[in-house]
Structure 1
């Protein structure tokens, strides 16, 4: 994860030093030269860390050094953001500012070029110390000779009968998959070697099912073995373990530890060519890994079977369709039954106490997640693809690898909502906290403080004000899930570097003017709040990309919002609860002067039309999603002409001013990209 932090900061430096604004003053150009040199060092450190990552383990000194690198990357990111802020302010002043700056009072900025120069000097000093402690410019010696964690001892965690080996009576919700697996093992009139693949997200029960079947069916084969592969496997370890298990009953004397890869390969082939065998390859990550391991698994036409468990659909594709099993999450009834059985073994019939029956997993919405990723800077431009398309590709890959589970798809089979498996979530929380990527805050049981290096904070429960700490000045993301949060905890003056501020669902009615000091803010989420008015200072958020007030009380942007040139998404509408009308069930935002000049807009949902906006709508050439309300018949000709020139539109909603209004849209020519059209009138 430290590599990701380095990639993010080096990318930011590239953007900063490449900006045309750098040509204003000599001092700015000097700072950009220093940042370029620092970027070069950080890129070398990142390459060095990649090499370290090839080692199976790292020592305590290296771990400490990596932690120091992470903190330096965070410090440098802060400085780059300061630099972009100051240069951006100068740019906004225009050329007249340079000529009059000596005769007027100096503007009060959050940072100065002098402070930035001092910060860069400290970064260079820290880089010197890091190099003295571990020279990243030299190749790493003997990476391949570093001993991995003992495979045999680790293997014990994955042997059948450990943890996930359960009896038939305890196996819940796997009846169908178990039947398919048993049938694949015992195919009649099929002497050929068969590969059976079970695919599904981590922790969903693939190994549990296979372990249950393995225990009951292994005796029907002349020899068998269970080996765990995982991501960091070594081929000779896999083959050595396999050989030991296959020969366990033969009591054949050999020293597998001293055998070379070639010796192991020859011995296994010799043994397996005369036997009907069953091999379990648990947790295979790549198809190429399987192909390498399979080199010793000869097909002697004796009805041998290989069972593979994997999170990857690519790996599962090595099996024929009839022998490919997709392990899905349990149905609600089975899941509840299993949960109660495990959580309440001593209660009558394993019934869950009523007080605990309100628990529910958190739903992740695709669009929101993608906007958060973009705001964080996690998504890089790839060719002509939009950032949103690149992010959706990453999301699809996470689903394909079973890291996330799709809960709902839209009518185009596109992901709408997802969930993260509890096991994956716990691992993500552990890893994120360990590497200061993020932390969760819950003071329902004790007083907590934000850790000093944490960059992201998710507030689950907050009974009291969040205790101030030096860590809050580093925060980049603040996500609030606790509806009982005190408003004083939401807008800390220390957290000026925030890029994401998500307060949706909180019972807040006002936003303080100090929000305008969050110069780095890219995402402001206020959905389902009682906020009625946005402060004028919002127009100072020149980096803002997403402004979301879905089903909030606010339907108007402050005057001057046309200055928010980087806005990609405006979502501002309110559902009318218990409306007796079937038409006009929601109110949309008011148009503001200069809205048509926001050339980066991708989403505008929803806007109340007027003559001026419809005529200038064609300027918003990057729009993908548009919902426009209040259309009258006199608008139709101009509207059709403007919409026909928006070639990126994928989703379009046109709503008449009232249900009796006749909309004549015969001349409307729609984009080939259009996926959904909604007409109301």
Structure 2
């Protein structure tokens, strides 16, 4: 993976020595009288170009190493030294760009007027030139060292080359099955689905896909069915082919011919046949037979399409089964022929584990004293059958006492790395990591910085990736859109697990599988990418060379465990950390910081020295007690994301508009946790020049003022806007400003109070909105024109008695929330309205006694909430008009005797609940919880 950082630095140097940058640097470099080492300073651009050229050659060599799979201590030591120099050069480039930027500021008249005393710069060109010269010489020495030590090894045979093809042979179906059919657990449903797909009466060629992350048992499932003679006897010929990551179609066709022909293959000289000859022969054979071809572990859809050229649709009911980790590959199959495997639930995981750990015990019962440790192991395996089988099998040979098992559990990850009976688990899972393109590898490893089982929110992760520089601009796509594409690709490759999606079907939050995370942490530490600090059990081992640190638990001074001068990212998850454990070095020594996330820490002030973090791009102070910023924050000219959610800070110092690179500005304070008032949050006051931050994409939340509303249209790149305390006098100008926003997809407008009437009749947008939230605006008919809306929230927006949703209104709406519409007595829904609604929530409509007329037309709704409603409304739910909705949740406003009556409804089952307000209604009957 070292080639990623090398390539990253090559690109940064390319920017630094580009014509536009050197044009700015030329006057500074020419002023030799200011420098102690004038010759080195003058030669700095040349030296940087030489370093870039050398790194390009090294990058090519590293790719060769990766392709050949060469290993060995000498090679790894050399690569580690390359990585260290690449990191050093990254810092030099950052320093150079900083000095050039500061010089440009000094030349501006505005700067001269504001600054009386010339501030001392963080870096001098003398220092930068000296560092670049040293790195250049060290790179030259590394290249010589390559010839002296690594070349003889690479050209010899003492270090075997290992790659996917050779390693994979150890794990192919039929080579080494450590689980028998009798031990299979939790696959009955998927096995039946697979058998039914094979036995369909449809005579056309069918592609069947079995997909999921590595270790879920895709090959085991298919192999189990393939050995079922009753199922496969209807096929005239069968072949099982394992597809490598470096798929060679010629080899696949040759092996297919051998498998299909068996002994008859002697008639063919398959080894010497050309691709054309193989294709002709295979087409001839398969055209006359009902065949079953199994393609195990397909990585690329394009590989399958090439292989498919010989898979003729002969009308005999032939089948092709694909196993894959990649969703894109699985999408080749029709929806009805895609089988998605999921981790085992706790019950099935325990059964499988016990069958392997206690194979000779009657009914495979786990002894009482081992059950807790066994459950801990189950939790760590997180439903992954391959890990459960491997670990259970190994424990079957160990003594059955709690002390030995607990010791094994405490060293589980180390065992997976080093125990020859378990490291195949690591190799199988690592295949997913080795295969993706380089741009995804850093993004994947970054997710390991979050705690175990942590729900990672999409927006936060994307902003972090952007701040780290992992995301490259692609054409007209925004960095956020490119990052979303990267995230989708990681999910499609089964490297991350989706926990929830929003109404747009985008990932809302996700997680890493526990074992996958541990392996990613190990890889990150090896590559000096990041380290995880956790001293829960004593002294934490953190690499001094690490560029990124994630603090999960800190009971001691972290300073002695890291090198602050090399730190680029500091993320704190331990909200009990004392100020003294980190503040003494973060602001004074870690001058290269890109990311600083102090969410939840008990801090009230930010030191003036924060302004020295010249490279800072991401600053998050959510859930802290910070009340104000020092004036030095205006020096953070590279800041892209500033998140101050649920803090005490709502006002900014003068000059904040100088932070021209800001993309995400998120500021609000919760003042009413009951959410009973209209303005539950306080918003930031718009500072002078806020409208000049042309790079802003997300602005949440900002108070409306006459000046801000008038100039809001300048923020033409905004994707998301929440504007609060809007008055009727703002409406005309607000509509005018919003009409200039071509990229806006999410809009939240909140009135100043419940009596304020907002007239937005002139509200038009050139770009279709995806999400709209209005508080105190008369809405529905006008909003129906936004046909691309997928989420709509209306809060206290309407004072009339009837609410209509007419045919063809809101055709793409997935989620609708109607809250506290106090005068609404009836809701009418015509057939054809809200045609794709999945989620409906009606809350606190106390005058609504009857269920919406026409609710039976909402056939796509999967879940409905009717909360804090009148008891008559809840009683009318029994009419049967909502029986088509799988889940209905309801509650009554206040405590009512009607609860007893409702509990006696036909089909109801009831049990005592200390908090009876929430009730769940299932589509097939009443279920009370």
Cα offset, 1:474, TM superposition: 1.5
The residue that corresponds to 1:111 in the other structure is 123
Query: Which stretches in structure 2 are left out of the alignment for 5+ residues?
Result: 31-40, 355-364, 381-451, 777-929
The DSSP-based 3-state class of the residue aligned with 2:638 is coil
Aligned to 1:24: 27
Q: Could you tell me which residue of structure 2 aligns to residue 634 of structure 1?
A: 729
| Aligned residue among 316, 336, 339 for 2:346 | 336
SS of aligned partner of 1:468 = helix
Structure 1 position 222, deviation (Å): 7.0
* Preserved contact between residue 366 and residue 415 of structure 1 (Cα < 8 Å): yes
- The aligned counterpart of 1:460 is 552
The 8 Å contact of residues 161 and 211 in structure 1, kept in 2 or not, is answered as: no
Distance 1:465 1:520, change over 3 A: same
**Superposition pairs of residues 391-470 of structure 1, within 5 angstroms:** 391-469=483-561
**Separation in 2, partners of 1:349, 1:341:** 17
Task: Look up the match of 1:312.
Answer: 326
Change (3 A) 1:305 1:496: same
Q: 1:158 matched to which residue of 2?
A: 172
Give 1:602 deviation, angstroms. Answer: 1.2
SS in 2 for 1:54: helix
Q: 1:61, CA displacement in angstroms? A: 3.5
Alignment of 1:501-650 (within 5 A): 501-579=596-674, 581-650=676-745
Contact 1:166 1:212 survives alignment (8 Å)? no
Check 1:395–1:438 CA distance in 2 against 1; reply closer, same or farther (3 A cut).
Answer: same
Partner SS for 1:501: strand
Change (3 A) 1:637 1:251: closer
RMSD: 4.0
CA 348–229 in structure 1, closer or farther in 2 if over 3 Å, else same: farther
CA separation in 1, counterparts of 2:200 and 2:155? 48
Using the alignment, how far apart are the partners of 2:97 and 2:616 within structure 1? 13
In the alignment, is the contact (CA less than 8 A) between 2:611 and 2:635 conserved in 1?
A: yes
Q: Distance between the aligned counterparts of 2:236 and 2:155, measured in 1? A: 41
- Change in 2 beyond 3 A, CA 1:587/1:341: farther
Answer yes or no: is the 8 Å Cα contact 1:3–1:49 preserved in 2: yes
Larger Rg: 2
Alignment of 1:10-49 (within 5 A): 10-17=10-17, 18-19=20-21, 21-27=24-30, 30-49=43-62
Q: Structure 1 residue 448: deviation in Å?
A: 2.3
Scaled by the length of structure 1, the TM-score of the pair is 0.86
Q: Distance in 2 between matches of 1:164 and 1:317?
A: 30
In the aligned structure 2, how far is the partner of 1:46 from the partner of 1:203? 32
Q: Distance in 1 between matches of 2:163 and 2:213?
A: 25
**Conservation of the 8 A alpha-carbon contact between 2:173 and 2:220:** no
Q: Specify which of 212, 226, 229 is matched with residue 224 of structure 2.
A: 212
Which protein has greater RCO, CA pairs closer than 8 Å, 6+ apart?
1
Q: Secondary structure at the match of 1:176?
A: helix
What are the superposed Cα offsets for residues 356-386 of structure 1, whole Å, 9 maximum, x if unpaired?
7999722121111111111011111122221
Decide whether the 8 Å contact of 1:408 with 1:418 is kept in 2: yes
Deviations 1:65-120 (A, max 9, x none): 322221111010000111122222222222569999xxx98632221110000001
Are 2:541 and 2:561, in contact at CA under 8 Å, matched by a contact in 1? yes
Contact 1:273 1:299 in 2 (8 A): yes
Cα distance change on mapping 1:295 and 1:57 into 2, 3 Å: farther
Distance 1:34 1:106, change over 3 A: farther
Q: 1:478 aligns with which of 563, 570, 576?
A: 570
Once the two structures are superposed, what CA deviation does each residue of 1:398-440 show, in whole Å capped at 9, x if it has no partner? 2232322332222222222222334543342232222111222
How far did 1:60 drift? 4.3
Shift in Å at residue 572 of structure 1? 0.7
The match for 2:863 is: none
1:81 aligned onto 2:87: no
Q: CA deviation at 1:573?
A: 0.7
Aligned to 1:197: 209
Given that 1:405 and 1:420 are in contact with CA atoms closer than 8 Å, whether structure 2 keeps it comes out as yes
1:65 aligns with 2:78: yes
Q: Distance in 2 between matches of 1:108 and 1:151?
A: 58
The change in CA–CA distance for 1:204 and 1:501 in structure 2 (over 3 A counts) is: farther
Q: Which of these residues, 180, 203, 207, is aligned with residue 193 of structure 2?
A: 180
TM-aligned CA deviation for residue 638 of structure 1: 2.0
The CA distance in 2 between the partners of 1:150 and 1:651, in whole Å, is 45
State the SS of the aligned residue for 1:554: coil
* 3-state SS of paired residue (1:574): strand
Change (3 A) 1:672 1:320: closer
2:185–2:352 Cα contact (<8 Å) kept: no
Change (3 A) 1:660 1:358: farther
How many residues are matched? 667
Indicate the residue corresponding to 1:4 in structure 2.
4
Name the SS for the 2:345 alignment partner: helix
Give SS of 1:124's match: helix
CA offsets 1:265-317 (integer angstroms, 9 cap, x no match): 59995987888665432211012333455567677877654321112233224
* TM-aligned CA deviation for residue 498 of structure 1: 1.0
2:714 and 2:542 map into 1 onto residues whose CA distance is 45
Question: 1:355 and 1:187, CA in 2 relative to 1: closer, same or farther beyond 3 A?
Answer: closer
Tell me if the contact between 1:341 and 1:350 (Cα under 8 Å) persists in the aligned partners. no
Matched residue of 2:487: which SS?
helix
Q: Which runs of 5+ in 1 are unaligned?
A: none
Question: Does the 8 Å CA contact 1:164/1:208 hold for their aligned counterparts?
Answer: no
Q: Give, in whole Å, the separation in 2 of the partners of 1:413 and 1:675.
A: 12
Give the drift of 1:466.
1.2
Cα distance in 1 for partners of 2:759, 2:215 equals 55
